[in-house]
Structure formats: structure tokens, C-alpha cells
Amino acid sequence: MLGVPFDLVIFGGGGDLSCRKLIPAMYRAYREGHFVPESQLIITVRGQDELATVKDHILQKLIEFLKEGEYEVEAAQQFMTLVKPVVVDIAERNDSWESLRDVLSEDESRARVFYLAIPPAIFGLCCEQLDHFGLNHANSRVVVEKPLGYDAQSANELHSKMALYFDESQTFRIDHYLGKEPVQNLMALRFGNTLFEHLWDAKTIDHVQISISEEVGVEGRANFYDGAGAARDMVQNHILQLLCLVAMESPNKLNADDIRAEKVKVLKALRPIVGEDVDRHTVRGQYVAGSVGGKMVKGYLEELDANSTTETFVAVRTFIDNWRWAGVPFYLRTGKRLAKRCAEIMIQYKDVSHNVFPGNERLCPNRLVIRLQPEEQVQLHVMTKQLDCQDMVLKPVTLDLNLADTYDSNYSDAYKRLILDVAQNNAALFVHRDEATAAWEWIDPVIEYWREQGAPSLYRSGSWGPDASDRLLAEDGKSWFNAEQ
């Protein structure tokens, strides 16, 4: 199916998301032959001034955001011939919509992908206009990305408004973490190998850690971020999606409906954290000034230039109340301005039931580490005998199932993969409305409780978050994986 022409319309095409992520992704797809020359990349802009300059702007941004070695003058020139800017006034019912119709292919068998890189407040309106002007044909799909609501209720209002014009089967909600190669590899590891699947439950697994740490602060997004905070920005979506992929049962088939149904079951089995349990099972923090990667950086409140109780760090202990996972703690953590940029899932197996090696006081437990970034890696930590040693001395070694050696991970691009999936009508890596709702319903009471509690704990930029985060695991006799490296 790859290599079939389609029309991609990016509303807000000259904006940051489009220039930073979407257009570079399509350039890569073009160079790999997946975005074929008969396709069109239609960019909507707001007025004639922008129309005159947007192609130059896009080209400059393309050069800026491509990785070293990716930009190639001739390829970029050819690619730019597929880019067609059009003025569309989303708020008005005027002729501008007709100019969009004029550019779109009339061939109804050809996929039409509307990517809404515009503020969520106008997602519904944009869908309504597309419907009103009859641009939503049977092969049309709409793509949106968070923030999709603020809580379960506002998210439902947004989904319901869009659903008036686009069916659920036409609606693709992006969580860019699902487009990352190692995340998909997690499914391959789990369901393509007997080895892991037989060792994937409360009988063998001691606990699971899912951690996304960032070195960056909130940068130019302080205003948006302050209304969201780490729980809405990262936990409700990326972290819970990763948790679902670790914890879900095998889908009957690898198709969107089956996978998403399994994920919803996990979300519904998450033990609610309500009232004072929020204090027991969660930690929230906000960074103050410190040093990250050898550079002094400002605190959150200085960046925001205002007072705020918004959290930039979250740690949670949670349980999945079902047969497979009964009693296994899942520790979730994310934060900005932490010591190191890293996203990983660490599955720790139980200690051996009886240690037969004298002199080896504690054997390191087996661990499966799936690292998404900075490098894409899968590692298995096992114990082996130390070589050239008369005694039976054991030491931990790491088996590297290194993805970067088998393909050029430098060029793997979540957005490219996801947009091509939309064009092929493959929703397996997109979030169903029911998943989004279940995730909000779980996180809402936590955020609500925090709101009544005032300021979060402070942590120094460049640290691993508030001390309370370490204590959360220490209470269970465990520690964050990074603390041991």
C-alpha cells in the first residue's frame, strides 16, 4: 500500500508543529518513496501576506529541523513542488473553502488526510466547515493531537463535537510516543516471542518502572504548560499509553479495534487514586534554578514570570487490579529539567527464590529495559559467572538487543510513520476515544486533589526530582533504576 498517492492538508501549515515535525516527516517519506510525487501537501495559511512567503519559510525551517545529512538540495526542491499553500479562513463560511476544494484531488478513492495543527478550541469548527463544504468524503480522515481537553468532561465535549462530522473510524488521535520504533518493538517482543510472554505477570515480575525524564524546561510554551502541568501533558497520554502496551493482554489480531480494546481494559483496571491516597501514592514537584548539562538554568516560576502551583514533575505508584498484574506496583515518573533526557520502561523480575551461590550476598534481579531515547535500546540484565575466577563469583551482564545496530535509528521518525498510517487507514497506533476518556477518568481525581493542596514540592534543576520521589519507592524497598546506574 505504501507509495499510493494521497492528499495531506495541514491546517496551520506554517506553524511550529507543522514546520518542526510534520513537514520534515513528509520530506523523509518523500525521499523514501512513500510520499509519491502525485501526492499533494496542502498547507493552509490565514491571509495573502502569509501565502506569499510561506514556501520560503517552510524551506528554511526544513533546513533547520532536518538532521545532519538529511537535507539534499535537489530532493528538497522536488519535494517543495508538492507543497501547495492555500488561504483558508477557518472561522468564516466564505470562498476560501472553495479554493481548498479546487486544489484537492477529485478522485474519491484517494485518501484525504486533514491534519489539524491548529488550536484545539477550533478543532470542532474546522470539522464543521469541512463537512459543510462537502470536503469530507468517504476516504477522508482527520488527525488531531493533544491537548485534547482538560479533563474527562471537556475532552468528551471536544470528541463529541468532532464526532458530529467525522466518524470515530475517520478520527486519528496522535500520541507521538506510539510512533516511536521501540514502542512498537515492545509489541513485537511481547507477542512475537514465547520467551517474554511466559514471564510476564505477577508470578515473575516484581515491579515495572516507566520513566520519561527531560532536560528541557518549558521554554517558549510556559503559558500553555502552566494551564496543563506534567500530569496532563505527559501522564494522561504518553505514560499511560506505554503502561497499556506493557500490561495489555495479547490482542486477537494486530488490528486497531483489537489492540485498542485491550488497552481500554488496562485503563479500566487501573486502581483509582482518590482523596488522601493521592498523598500516599503520588509526588508532584516544580523545578527551581539549577544546572542542567553544565549550564545554569532558571526555575519554573522565573521562566513563567508569575506565581504558580503547576507541577513540572510527577511520580506515581499504581496497581492494575486484574488477574495478571495483581499486587505488582507500576511506578510512573516524568519531569522537566531533570538530570538526563531519557525515556525507558524497566521491567524488574523477582529475586531468585533461593540463592545457592555462597559469597554472593544478593544476586541482581533480571531486568528487561526498553529504552526509547536518547538511544533506542532493548537490554536484558542477567547474572553470569565471572570469567577466570576460581570461585563461583557472579556478576551482572547486559545483553544488548541494540536496535540502532540493525537499522539507522537516526532517521526513524514517529510522525512520518503515523501520517503514513493515517493515509493507509491503519489506526492501530492511534488513541481511541474510549482510551482517552478512561485515562482522563483515572487522572482527574489526582489533579483535582492536588489543586486543593497548594504548592508542589520544589526540586533543583538537574536533579532527579523531589526527594519524596525516591522515598515513594524506598517505602517499598525499591529504587528508581537511574539511581543504580
How far, in Å, CA of 205 to CA of 36, rounded?
A: 46
Positive or negative CA dihedral for 445, 450, 451, 452?
positive
b vs e for 191-215, b when ≥16 Cβ sit within 10 Å of the residue's Cβ?
eeeeeeeeebeeeebbbbbbbbbbb
Q: Which is nearer to ligand BG6, 147 or 251 (by Cβ)?
A: 147
Q: x/- string (CB under 6 A) for ligand BG6, residues 53-92?
A: ----------------------------------------
Angle between helices 240-247 and 256-269 (to 10 degrees): 100
Q: x/- string (CB under 6 A) for ligand BG6, residues 422-461?
A: ----------------------------------------
Least gap, CB of 214 to ligand BG6 (angstroms): 5
Q: Which is nearer to ligand BG6, 217 or 299 (by Cβ)?
A: 217
Q: Which of 70, 181, 233, 376 binds ligand BG6 (CB under 6 A)?
A: 233
Q: Which of 70, 181, 206, 214 binds ligand BG6 (CB under 6 A)?
A: 214
Burial of 57 per CB tally in 10 Å (0-12, 13-18, 19+): middle
Least gap, CB of 344 to ligand BG6 (angstroms): 11
Q: Which is nearer to ligand BG6, 206 or 233 (by Cβ)?
A: 233
Report whether 123 contacts 162 (CB < 8 A). yes
Q: Which three cell numbers stand for residue 12?
A: 496551520
Q: Which is nearer to ligand BG6, 233 or 311 (by Cβ)?
A: 233
Report whether 450 contacts 311 (CB < 8 A). yes
Q: Which is nearer to ligand BG6, 227 or 275 (by Cβ)?
A: 227
Least gap, CB of 336 to ligand BG6 (angstroms): 7
Q: CA dihedral in degrees (449, 455, 457, 461; nearest 10)?
A: 120
Least gap, CB of 334 to ligand BG6 (angstroms): 9
How far, in Å, CA of 224 to CA of 220, rounded?
A: 9
Q: x/- string (CB under 6 A) for ligand BG6, residues 120-159?
A: ----------------------------------------
Least gap, CB of 290 to ligand BG6 (angstroms): 18
How far, in Å, CA of 471 to CA of 48, rounded?
A: 58
By C-alpha distance, which of 145, 146, 140, 108 is closest to 127? 140
Q: Is 238 considered catalytic here?
A: yes
**330-335 vs 205-213, strand pairing mode:** parallel
Q: Which three cell numbers stand for residue 90?
A: 477557518
By C-alpha distance, which of 45, 34, 40 is closest to 7? 40
List strands edge to edge, sheet with 7-11: 83-87, 40-45, 7-11, 112-116, 140-145, 171-174
Least gap, CB of 176 to ligand BG6 (angstroms): 6
Site for ligand BG6 in 155-194 (CB under 6 A): 176
Q: Which is nearer to ligand BG6, 360 or 373 (by Cβ)?
A: 373
Least gap, CB of 343 to ligand BG6 (angstroms): 6
Report whether 328 contacts 468 (CB < 8 A). no
Q: Single out the catalytic residue among 159, 176, 238, 432.
A: 238
**295-297 vs 313-318, strand pairing mode:** unpaired
Q: Which is nearer to ligand BG6, 222 or 343 (by Cβ)?
A: 343
How far, in Å, CA of 218 to CA of 224, rounded?
A: 9
376 touches ligand BG6 by CB under 6 A = no
Site for ligand BG6 in 335-354 (CB under 6 A): 343
Burial of 58 per CB tally in 10 Å (0-12, 13-18, 19+): buried
Give the angle 8-11-15 at the CA atoms, nearest 5°: 110
Q: Which is nearer to ligand BG6, 62 or 343 (by Cβ)?
A: 343
Q: CA dihedral in degrees (253, 258, 262, 264; nearest 10)?
A: 160
Report whether 143 contacts 116 (CB < 8 A). yes
Q: Which is nearer to ligand BG6, 124 or 217 (by Cβ)?
A: 217
Residue nearest to ligand BG6 (CB): 233
Least gap, CB of 407 to ligand BG6 (angstroms): 19
Least gap, CB of 16 to ligand BG6 (angstroms): 12
Interface with ligand BG6 (CB under 6 A), residue total 4
> Which residues would be at the binding site for ligand BG6 (CB under 6 A)?
176, 214, 233, 343
As annotated, the active-site residues are 238
